[in-house]
Amino acid sequence: MDTVQAKILDGKKAASVIKEGLKARISKLPEGGRPGLAVVLVGEDPASKVYVGQKEKASVEVGINSFVHKLPAGTTQPELLALIEDLNCDPRVHGILVQLPLPEGFDADAVISAIHPEKDVDGFHAVNVGRLWTGGRAVEPCTPKGIMALLDSTGIELKGLNAVVIGRSNIVGKPISAMLLSRHCTLTICHSRTKDLPSAVRGGDIVVAAVGRPNFVTGDMIKQGAIVIDVGINRVGGKLAGDVEFESASQKASWITPVPGGVGPMTIVMLMKNTLELAGIKQTPGT
């Protein structure tokens, strides 16, 4: 397929459509039946504070009850675990999210494990990770869930396509790999030890870049007509940059996500969607 200029996969627009659907559903619920999302922030990390603020704002906008717990940097692990236990038992709370990264000294794995799997709105608990890989009813992590929604919005049949994922983190790379595999893509996962990464990426009908390095993926690595999903959020000279060099990649791709306005807004709206799902509120397809 010859492509001159890629079509933009507009995450901001897609997220706002989904958000309106969620809002409409929640508005029909009785006041006491609204879903609740608890977000826990430990310490003063500026980026984490911004992310927590965005999540709180989005919750309020769609009508989810937001419970934000801001704990000082001096909080101890047992104190944090005690709060999680309280939230596990709180019937008003359907989703619990602990903002990562935690300050030094915390055992993030133990903290994630303490969240009840049925309230694990981020889908990071080992039970949900296991269910995701074994095809069970998992809470799907928000960023990969948002990526799948963007891919589906292209209308392209994913079955049988070669998907190349760059990055193997528990938050993005591994779960998006599981989800692409479950949709019958043929999968390649690249990471920092991959030999000849450019040639691996050139085989991708779908390329998902989750590396955390600005402009890491260049147009010469992109197969003509590929769908390019840029997950990266990098700050370069006060501006946001993705992991993909947009200018050159958009000359080759059929579809591409911008940064900002691509995967980021989808991540937040999927957090809202997961909260509703955990509250047991059924949704109509497409919302």
Catalytic amino acids? Answer: 55, 99, 122
State the number of binding residues for ligand NDP (CB under 6 A). 25
Cβ nearer to ligand NDP, comparing 83 with 227: 227
Cβ nearer to ligand NDP, comparing 93 with 268: 268
Asked if 232 and 209 count as a contact pair (C-beta separation under 8 A), the reply is: yes
Alpha carbon distance 167, 186 (integer Å): 16
Q: Residue 41, by phi and psi: left (phi above 0), alpha (psi -120 to 50) or beta?
A: beta
Does residue 168 touch ligand NDP according to CB under 6 A? yes
**Which residues, in sequence order, are CB contacts of 98 under 8 Å at separation 6+?**
40, 42, 80, 84, 111, 112, 115
For ligand NDP, which residue of 98, 172, 178, 270 counts as binding (CB under 6 A)?
172
**Stretches 35-43, 67-75, 118-126, 167-175: which one binds ligand NDP (CB under 6 A)?**
167-175
3-state secondary structure of 190: strand
| Least distance to ligand NDP, CB of residue 132, Å | 16
Cβ nearer to ligand NDP, comparing 49 with 213: 213
Does residue 173 touch ligand NDP according to CB under 6 A? yes
For ligand NDP, which residue of 99, 143, 177, 257 counts as binding (CB under 6 A)?
143
Q: What are the phi and psi torsion angles at 224 (to 5°)?
A: -55, 125
| Least distance to ligand NDP, CB of residue 168, Å | 4
Tokens of 27: 């508005």
Tokens of 28: 């029909």
Alpha carbon distance 221, 227 (integer Å): 12
Site string for ligand NDP, 203-232 (x = CB under 6 A): -------xxxx-----------------xx
Place of tokens 């999540």: 55
Cβ nearer to ligand NDP, comparing 115 with 244: 244
